[in-house]
Amino acid sequence: MPGIVKIFSYKDIPGENQVGGIIPDEPFLADHEVHYQGQPVLLIVAENEDAAEEAIREIKIEIEPLPVITDPREAFKQGKLLSPSRKFVKGNVEVAFSKCKYIFEGSTESGGQEQLYLETQGAYAYPTEHDSVKIFSSTQGPTQVQRTAAMVLGVGMNKVEVDVPRLGGGFGGKEDQASAWGTMAAMAAWILKRPAKCIPHRMEDMRMTGKRNPYSSDYKIGLDENHNIIAYEATFYQNGGAAADLSPAILERTLFHATNSYNIPHVKVVAHSCKTNLPPNTAFRGFGGPQGMFVIEAAIDHAARSLNIAPDLIQRKNMMDNGDEFPYGQIVSESQAKSCWDEATDIYNLESVKKEVDWFNKQNQFYKKGWALMPVCFGISFTNTMMNQARALVHVYSDGTVGVSTGAVEMGQGVNSKMLQVAATCFGISPGKIKLESTNTTRVSNTSPSAASSTADLNGKALLNACNQIKERLVNFIKTELTDNEDKTVEIKDEVVYINDEASIFNWKNLVQQAFMKRINLSAKGHYATPYINFDKTIEKGHPFAYHVYGTALTITTVDCLRGTYKIDAVKVVHDFGSSMNRAVDLGQCEGGIVQGVGWMTMEEVVYNADGKLLSNALSTYKIPDIYSVPKEIEIKFLNTDGNDMAIFRSKAVGEPPLMYGIGAFFAIRNAVLAFNPTATIPYSAPITPEKVLMALYK
């Protein structure tokens, strides 16, 4: 057909037909079977988009239907697992349950969530010298794109260069799943020796890419007569989709966060990664943590409702303390769980909120309010210890300007601002003198993806290491060459060199120039690997996290009991930012995370039909919070602490933890519905959409 350059099938792949990141179970192009609707089968290379679309219409593929499974429990029954099941155990639940005064059991569901980055997936590539290829990719994981493209092309990683300018959002969706798009562009460019671009439209992106893993879970919680939680058991059925992708790692984080901020002496949590015929599900802010936390919060709510007490009594009573042990063996230290909780209930005046809500509910027949408290304890580090490393490359140019490269990808989370701050602070110069380069695999290699909220910590510490090397050389140069006195103290502040606390005739610019003349090395490569962390999967114990981030949210909602609609009146938070190095960025992350979490719990509904076809495939059918549905009020208080030394400049990671405050919205809405209809049955099934609310109001 006119305009068609080439059509590739799996038979044309020069290397391996494989894009699986953790487990090699995902073909780049389908070979003999397709496992989900939206799986890539052919790669059409055309002169322009219209020609490619024409060709798609003319191609007929005959597919013999096989049974479709979309439900994780069904997949589990049939023994379809993506990876071995995992189990974390602390104490002895069997014995403990036999001694509990109260035991409650139930099930929960939490739905998928579309990352909905504003910039869709995509890449472009061109052939370069030495039979190589350069890919510009919208990815959180430049090295993952490089590795995948090299494997599919059958070349060494040194022949694939990946360059990443800032992204229009990732939210986990481009941690692993950018690889296929980058590889498509690379394969066309490398084989055809022409530049090639591959960017899906929004509907294609939504149809073809994986989302947050939906979970179906069972819980059993046991309490003594004083409402201490003695035992907790849960089984998680993760809907993984048709290939492992990141699901095994996500599964693990679900177990790490299965008990949230609570200290429970006897715990047994089991997780199964179930293989279904959906697009492979993947990372989304929180990475399985939110799915685990939702279940324990449901269990506590269940217990409180049944015992006719307020859930916050059970929550507060069982909150962790320093010295307690997480089910995975790490000892709780520097816990801010109780301090965040107590400060939130104090400054947001929980007692009067309770009274006001009761009063409102007495006054209004068809509007009801509800409130809920949501504590969060989130572990910082990749759960895979190996991934907690980073590098940075710094050049000080002879005119005093600075070029900084790290493995960090800017996707809106503000990491570039933080990297600028690190270099500027270390050198004592203005950020205006520093340029942050794009993230590039030939400048900084073997990067971990920008993920796990750890990007600023890992890359910031590597960058600090590189800057310190150069600074040390400059300081030594001054001491030995310029002042002839090694005992003097040298400091650079506001681009002025201070010798023995006195401003000298040297400034940053002429210092750099003189150092260059004397052949001092003005470049450095920094490396950082998080110390102390470890995890032994054979016994499921260790110290996987550098530190934890804590916080508590109070959520208040109003439900319109005629229509089933609701609004979120307020989300009020006390959050442990450590010693924030950039309050504007950190506040933005906190607000964004809250809104995204509220969206997941209330309105964002990923719907597939029985054949695994995505029905919520556009912004008309998939609703995310807009300006009308965001909380009317978001208040965020910075907990006053010194932060943690494992964090860059003691400024704690902030990317993911606030998302989980959104879980409070589910329970606040549920409580409002119960205020209208105390006998309503409202399953712990998120999102709690207006449709579900309406059904519950008038069962």
Structure tokens at 35: 């496992």
Q: Which is nearer to ligand MTE, 244 or 408 (CB)?
A: 408
447 in contact with ligand HPA (CB under 6 A)? no
Beta-bridge partner residues of 217: 108, 236
The entry of ligand MTE, ligand MOS, ligand HPA, none near residue 412 (CB within 5 to 8 angstroms by kind) is ligand MTE
Cβ neighbors of 336 (< 8 A, separation 6 or more) are 550, 551, 576, 639, 641
User: Which positions ≥6 away from 311 have C-beta within 8 Å?
Assistant: 300, 301, 303, 304, 305, 372, 373, 667
Which region, judged by CB under 6 A, interacts with ligand MOS, from 283-291, 456-464, 528-536, 577-585? 283-291
Interface mask (CB under 6 A) for ligand HPA, residues 144-183, using x and -? -------------------------------x--------
Q: State yes or no: residue 142 binds ligand MTE (CB under 6 A).
A: no
Angle at which helix 337-347 crosses helix 350-363, to 10 degrees, equals 50
Asked if 653 touches ligand HPA (CB under 6 A), the answer is no
Residue 451 C-beta: closest distance to ligand MTE, Å: 4
Q: How far apart are CA 631 and CA 568, in angstroms?
A: 5
Secondary structure of 654-686 in HEC code, one letter for each residue:
CCCHHHHHHHHHHHHHHHHHHHHCCCCCCCEEE
Residue 417 phi/psi, 5-degree rounding, is -60, -40
Q: Which ranges in 105-229 belong to alpha helices (H)? A: 142-153, 179-192, 202-208
Answer for the pair 325, 91: CB distance below 8 angstroms, yes or no.
no
Closest CA relative to residue 235, chosen from 84, 379, 87: 87
- Using CB under 6 A as the binding rule, whether residue 348 contacts ligand HPA is answered as no
What is the closest distance, in whole angstroms, from the C-beta atom of residue 175 to ligand HPA in the complex? 6
Q: Name the one range near ligand MOS by CB under 6 A: 272-280, 282-290, 535-543, 562-570.
A: 282-290
Cα(525)–Cα(346) distance, integer angstroms: 48
- Asked if 160 touches ligand MTE (CB under 6 A), the answer is no
Binding mask 389-418 for ligand MTE (x = CB under 6 A): ----------------------xxx-x---
* Number of continuous H segments (helices) and E segments (strands) in the chain: 17, 26
Give the interface segment with ligand HPA, choosing from 69-77, 379-387, 407-415, 432-440 (CB under 6 A). Answer: 379-387
Shortest distance (Å) from residue 441 CB to ligand MTE: 19
Q: Does 689 bind ligand MTE (CB under 6 A)?
A: no
Which range, of 212-220, 381-389, 421-429, 568-576, touches ligand HPA by CB under 6 A? 381-389
Cβ closest to ligand MTE, residue 298 vs residue 411: 411
**CA-CA-CA-CA torsion for 328, 330, 334, 339, nearest 10 degrees?**
20
Q: Examine residue 456 and tell whether it contacts ligand MTE (CB under 6 A).
A: yes
**697, 636 Cβ separation under 8 angstroms:** no
Q: How far apart are CA 151 and CA 157, in angstroms?
A: 8
d(CA 449, CA 413): 14
Nearest approach, Cβ of residue 283 and ligand MOS (Å): 4
Two structure tokens written together for 589: 């992350």
| Single residue of 52, 152, 188, 283 touching ligand MOS by CB under 6 A | 283
Look at residue 249 and give the partner it binds from ligand HPA, ligand MTE, ligand MOS, none, a contact being a CB closer than 5 to 8 Å depending on partner kind. ligand HPA
Closer CB to ligand HPA, 251 or 426, in the complex: 251
Q: In terms of CB distance, is 232 or 284 closer to ligand MOS?
A: 284
By CB under 6 A, residue 452 contacts ligand MOS: yes
The residue type at 143: T
Nearest to ligand HPA of 286, 400 (CB atom): 286
User: Which DSSP string do the residues of 460-484 spell out, in sequence order?
Assistant: HHHHHHHHHHHHHHHHHHIIIIISS
694: CB partners within 8 A, 6+ apart = 563, 564
258 is a contact residue toward ligand MTE (CB under 6 A)? no
Of 592, 613, 619, 677, the one binding ligand MTE (CB under 6 A) is 592
- Tell me whether residue 35 or residue 211 sits nearer to ligand MOS (CB atom): 211
Interface with ligand MOS in residues 132-161 (CB under 6 A): 140
- Work out how close the CB of 50 gets to ligand HPA at its nearest, in angstroms, rounded to a whole number: 38
The Cα 108–Cα 513 span in angstroms is 65
Comparing CB distances to ligand HPA, the nearer of 457 and 605 is 457
Joined tokens for residue 64: 């013999």
Instruction: Determine which residue in the list 134, 257, 285, 670 makes contact with ligand MTE, applying CB under 6 A.
Output: 285
**What residues contact 321, with CB distance under 8 A and at least 6 apart?**
263, 332, 335, 337, 338
Beta carbon nearer to ligand MTE, 170 or 222 = 170
621: number of Cβ within 10 Å? 12
Sole binder of ligand HPA in the list 383, 389, 440, 455 (CB under 6 A): 383
Give the up-direction half-sphere exposure of residue 70: CA atoms within 13 A in the CB hemisphere.
Answer: 15
Residue type for 666, please? F
Q: If phi over 0 gives left and psi between -120 and 50 gives alpha, with beta otherwise, what is residue 19?
A: alpha
Residue placing its CB nearer to ligand HPA in the complex, 39 or 140: 140
Q: Which is nearer to ligand MTE, 146 or 596 (CB)?
A: 596
Does residue 655 belong to the site contacting ligand MTE (CB under 6 A)? Answer: yes
Binding mask 169-198 for ligand MTE (x = CB under 6 A): xxxx--------------------------
Residue type, 102: Y
Asked if residue 690 binds ligand MTE (CB under 6 A), the reply is no
Q: Which stretch binds ligand HPA (CB under 6 A): 182-190, 377-385, 560-568, 657-665?
A: 377-385
Cβ distance to ligand MOS smaller for residue 188 or 250: 250
**451 is an interface residue for ligand HPA by CB under 6 A:** yes
Give all strands of the β-sheet with 566-575 in edge-to-edge order: 367-380, 547-560, 566-575, 633-638
Residues 559, 622: contact at Cβ < 8 Å?
A: no
Return d(Cα 376, Cα 373) in angstroms, integer.
10
Give residues 284-323 in contact with ligand MOS (rule: CB under 6 A). 284-285, 287
Question: Minimum CB separation from ligand MOS for residue 129, in Å?
Answer: 34
Is 656 a residue of the active site? yes
> Is residue 578 involved in binding ligand MTE (CB under 6 A)?
no
Residues that bind ligand MTE (CB under 6 A): 169-172, 285, 411-413, 415, 450-456, 589, 592, 653, 655-656
Contact positions toward ligand MOS, by CB under 6 A? 140, 172, 175, 283-285, 287, 451-452
| Residues carrying an active site annotation | 656
Q: Which residues bind ligand HPA (CB under 6 A)?
A: 175, 246, 249, 253, 283, 287, 382-384, 387, 451-452
